[in-house]
Amino acid sequence: MTLDDAKFLALAFEEAKAGYEEGGIPIGAVLVSKDGKVLGRGRNKRVQEGNNILHGETSALQNAGRLAPEAYKGATMYTTLSPCDMCTGACLLFGIPRVVVGENKSWLGGEAYLKSRGVEVVVMDDPQCLELMQKFMTEKPDVWNEDVGGNLEGVGH
């Protein structure tokens, strides 16, 4: 079965928009099984919950709950922004073999590392994802810099 990347990225974008409307960092993610079932969806809630490790991808994993290791086989993580080192590591830890990225122009995370570890990475260059992230970075640079934005040194983009 081939997953509909645009459909599931749109769900991740819904999460990002909800986060933005809550005053948070607009990054959303959706974990989808190989047969197209949404296992978990989430958004960055660092601001809303004061939790510095609740990024979009980790939120989606948390909301998926405790799953058997085979649930991750063939799964895809959809994320509106290129994953940071922590979220890259989470995808590797759970053996998620495919990551679909909405955009990586605002921030280029661990895509090269994912690829080096055999993960398929698809970058959609989605204009909605880019526009929302750029809007947020312009409006709230201080909040962005609390997150991965404060770690821009040494990151290629």
Active-site entry in 57, 111, 139, 146: 57
Per-residue HEC secondary structure of the chain comes to: CCCCHHHHHHHHHHHHHHHHHCCCCCCEEEEECCCCCEEEEEECCHHHHCCCCCCHHHHHHHHHCCCCHHHHCCCEEEEEECCCHHHHHHHHHCCCCEEEEEECCCCCCCHHHHHHCCCEEEECCCHHHHHHHHHHHHHCHHHHHHCHHHHCCCCCC
Does the annotation count 139 as an active-site position?
A: no
Q: Which of the residues are catalytic?
A: 57
